[in-house]
Amino acid sequence: MESPAEPTQRSTAFTLRHPLAVLVVWFPLNPFVLHHLSRVLLAPYPEYRMDLGAYLGLLSTTILGPFTAALEGRNRSFCMEMAYQLLPVCLGAIVLAVLIQIFWRPKHWPSRAIRMGLWMLGWFVWFCGAFLSILSNSG
């Protein structure tokens, strides 16, 4: 016999919380944070500095994951090679996160929290691919 506090239905595969969780994970790697971080890290190297517009144009594409730096145009062949090296890990994390959302739909809140954490982890790996591609193109 189930207690009345426990849900009787399984959770849906995707809810409004999923895109909100992606935005939360994206925040540390969004254009404004990365721009200010790059200004601090690259301050001694003026030849690597870009103006704010160039950084926003480049870094606003962090949604593209490991292919982010390839859009800039500088060292494009190197950036594409790096992107293809990072792609299996980054894309694998997203695919695994989506499959977990589709096939594992628990009834209880602790399992739902773990499931959402795995969703966020998959997207974090994807956005880290963007960060790594930008860092590899910086030097």
Q: What is the pLDDT of residue 1?
A: 47
Give the per-residue pLDDT at 123: 94
pLDDT in tens, 80-138: 999 999 999 999 999 999 999 999 999 899 999 999 999 999 999 998 888 888 788 76
Q: What amino acid occupies position 132?
A: L
Which pLDDT does position 100 carry in this prediction?
96
Task: Please say whether the beta carbons of 96 and 32 come within 8 A.
Answer: no
Count of CB atoms situated within 10 Å of the CB of 104: 15
pTM above 0.85, yes or no: no
Distances (CA, A) of 58 to 6, 67, 77: 47, 11, 17
pLDDT in tens, 36-82: 666 666 666 565 555 666 665 655 677 888 888 887 667 788 889 99
pLDDT (0 to 100) of residue 113: 93
CA angle 24, 29, 35 (to 5 degrees): 135
**Position with higher pLDDT, 89 vs 23:** 89
